[in-house]
Amino acid sequence: MHGMLDRTDFAIKRGPAIGALDPWVPSAGRMRQLLSERERVRLARIAPVVRFRKRETIYWEGDPAEAVFNIVGGAAKVCRTASDGAEHISAFLFPGDLFGLAQEGRYVGTIRALTPVTAFRFAVPALRRILADDATLEFHLIVKLMHELRQSQHHAVVLATNRAVAKVAMFLHMLERLQPASGEAANQIFLPMTRSDIAEYVGITLSATSRAFRSLTEGGILALRGRRHVTIADRVAFAKLAGVDRERAPAARTAVTSRDTRR
């Protein structure tokens, strides 16, 4: 706890930070800090630090989009309300992420804090002014957006899966890769979100999520310490479910004659 506060405070002093996998530079799957010291200092000058309590709504879908935020501490979720009123979660946000996606002047999703959140707040006009005369910074933003686009496409792959257990496994795998080496022991995953949130993210019901967790623990693949700490007990079986067992080799370049089967 104390350690975490220190880390966040330290992060605030260093200024805004954007993490991403570079589209062109290989980095063995490790996220990189895109901003240079100079850029961070410059951005810090126009961006006040804002804090939100756990469960607080940072902004609502449809609100006038006046600012972009950069998380430096905590976690949040992006919710989109479907036409029938059902909520769907389109992303989870962690330190190094940006939020504030807009369309025609209005925010595209509702943002809710899962834990206490600390963020830098960039007023859109000020940000645009800075971007307009710093091509490098602009380029970094492009890299980050490409990263988010890939993430979102991966999310779609998870949603397209049809077995609930596989969906949950893929979700946990994603979370593990995303989780900055945040003081978690190896094979440990911390879940800042509820089971309901997970359900809404992977596109199944709360019941199904619960059953999937049970099935995973009973199968000896996971172990739970409390409800928010997951340990991966059987890496091999886990990787198989999460679909990480593929070779990185050029893959079969044969156009698969698409039958009716999905598994």
Q: Which is nearer to DNA, 69 or 238 (CB)?
A: 238
Structure tokens at 185: 């022991």
Q: CA dihedral defined by 18, 24, 26, 27, rounded to 10 degrees?
A: 0
Q: Which of residues 64-83 bind DNA (CB under 7 A)?
A: none
Minimum distance between the CB of residue 224 and its own copies, rounded to whole angstroms?
Answer: 21
Give the residue, chosen from 205, 220, 235, 244, that forms a contact with DNA under the rule CB under 7 A.
205
Burial class (CB in 10 A: 0-12, 13-18, 19+), 263: exposed
Contact criterion met (CB below 8 Å) for 70 and 18: yes
Minimum distance between the CB of residue 261 and DNA, rounded to whole angstroms?
Answer: 4
Alpha-carbon gap, residue 140 to 20, rounded angstroms: 9
Q: Among the residues of 95-246, which ranges form H helices?
A: 124-132, 135-160, 164-178, 195-202, 206-218, 235-242
Minimum distance between the CB of residue 162 and DNA, rounded to whole angstroms?
Answer: 5
64 DSSP 8-state letter: B
Residue 165 partner contact from DNA, its own copies, none using kind-dependent CB cut-offs of 5 to 8 Å: DNA
Q: Which is nearer to its own copies, 74 or 109 (CB)?
A: 109
Structure tokens at 93: 């946000």
Residue 254 partner contact from DNA, its own copies, none using kind-dependent CB cut-offs of 5 to 8 Å: none
Alpha-carbon gap, residue 100 to 103, rounded angstroms: 10
**207 in contact with DNA (CB under 7 A):** yes
Contact criterion met (CB below 8 Å) for 139 and 24: no
Minimum distance between the CB of residue 237 and its own copies, rounded to whole angstroms?
Answer: 14
* Segment interacting with DNA (CB under 7 A) among 74-82, 129-137, 197-205, 235-243: 197-205
The C-alpha angle 98, 102, 105, rounded to 5 degrees, equals: 140
Residue 30 partner contact from DNA, its own copies, none using kind-dependent CB cut-offs of 5 to 8 Å: none
Residue 21 partner contact from DNA, its own copies, none using kind-dependent CB cut-offs of 5 to 8 Å: its own copies
Minimum distance between the CB of residue 160 and its own copies, rounded to whole angstroms?
Answer: 4
Binding site for DNA (CB under 7 A): 54, 162-165, 194-196, 203-211, 213-214, 224, 226-228, 257, 260-263
